[in-house]
Amino acid sequence: MSKDLCHCILLRKASRRVSSYYDEALAPLGVNIAQFSLLRNINRMAPVSLTDLAARVELDRSTVGRNAKVLERMGLVEIRPGKDQREATLLVSAPGKAILLEGAPLWDRAQADIETRLGADGAGRLRDLLAAL
């Protein structure tokens, strides 16, 4: 197999390009796709522990904790003590909810742009292939 056909490298390159589409779309709000996605997940699960959120987004708990601290400094998330004092609980703040509302149509446009680039059949095949991994 040729080095140019390494699945991992091709997926990483594609992932960076796709992330940049979303980052450009969300730039007016001052958040990137990773932050917006984490906000969405916190909002869906709130109140949510770092452990449960990490499991949902399939990231290491310490990574999620660092990212949550950034969102807290931005004023988009509130971090409160959980039932167990060893565990923090996350909630989206009012400014965070405003970012989610303003960002939804921007995210939708980026999503539609990618679907247009791939075509409906191509987008469907991509989702199926990625789900198989």
100-118 residue pLDDT tens: 999 999 999 999 999 999 9
Closest by Cα among 54, 91, 58 to 75: 91
In the predicted model, is pLDDT for residue 2 greater than 70?
Answer: no
CB-CB contact of 123 with 115 (8 Å): yes
Which range marks the domain in which residue 51 is found?
16-132
Reported as a single tens digit per residue, the pLDDT across 52-93 is 999 999 999 999 999 999 999 999 999 998 877 778 899 999
Say what the alpha-carbon torsion angle 72, 77, 80, 84 is, to the nearest 10 degrees: -110
Is 101 a member of any domain?
A: yes
| Two structure tokens written together for 83 | 């039932």
Residue 11 lies in a domain: no
**Per-residue model confidence (pLDDT) at position 1:** 52
**pLDDT at res. 28:** 97
One-letter amino acid for residue 17 of the chain: R
Contact 113, 121 (CB under 8 A): no
Is 33 a domain residue?
yes
- Global pTM exceeds 0.85: yes
Q: How many domains does the chain have?
A: 1
Domain assignment of residue 1, yes or no:
no
In the predicted model, what is the mean pLDDT of the chain? 94
Q: Is residue 92 helix, strand or coil?
A: strand
The domain that holds 30 is classified in CATH as 1.10.10.10
